[in-house]
Amino acid sequence: MEFWKNELSELNVKNKAKYQKLFSQLVSRVQNNRFSVNPGIKEFKEHYVITEENRLNSYFVHIVPKEAFYIFKEMIKQPDIFLGFSVLAGKYNDKDIRVSCFGVQCNLLGKSLTKRKP
């Protein structure tokens, strides 16, 4: 685990404000049942949205900036490892749905949720 801490501490995700906004929007979409929970990887221009079904008996929806994908790919191979800050955003098929944004500090993600308009 120490290896991953070192790798993550050296990672510099650009445009964190963009990912904060994506994170809060995704949490809102899950809360309002406007997110289709389909395990797999969706690729966008600068990031991926990765949905896992059985991490810690929950669905996890990860926003992963492309510059962090190489680390995420290695870490995701370990199903019992916690991949960082996540929030409980809803339920689907009697399992929790948790949302995370890999490579962006938890204090920034938390702030994005408090700034969100109802």
| pLDDT above 90 for 84 | no
Q: Which residue range is the domain that position 39 belongs to?
A: 2-114
Please tell me the total count of domains within the chain: 1
pLDDT in tens, 33-62: 999 999 999 999 999 999 998 878 899 999
Cα separations in angstroms, 15 against 73, 78, 91, 104, 114:
21, 28, 30, 10, 19
Average pLDDT, the chain: 86
pTM, two decimal places:
0.86
Contact at 8 Å (CB) between 28 and 99? no
pLDDT of residue 3: 55
When pLDDT is averaged across residues 90-95 and rounded to a whole number, the result is 94
pLDDT in tens, 1-11: 455 556 666 77
Contact at 8 Å (CB) between 48 and 41? yes
When pLDDT is averaged across residues 79-87 and rounded to a whole number, the result is 72
Structure tokens of 20?
Answer: 């904060």
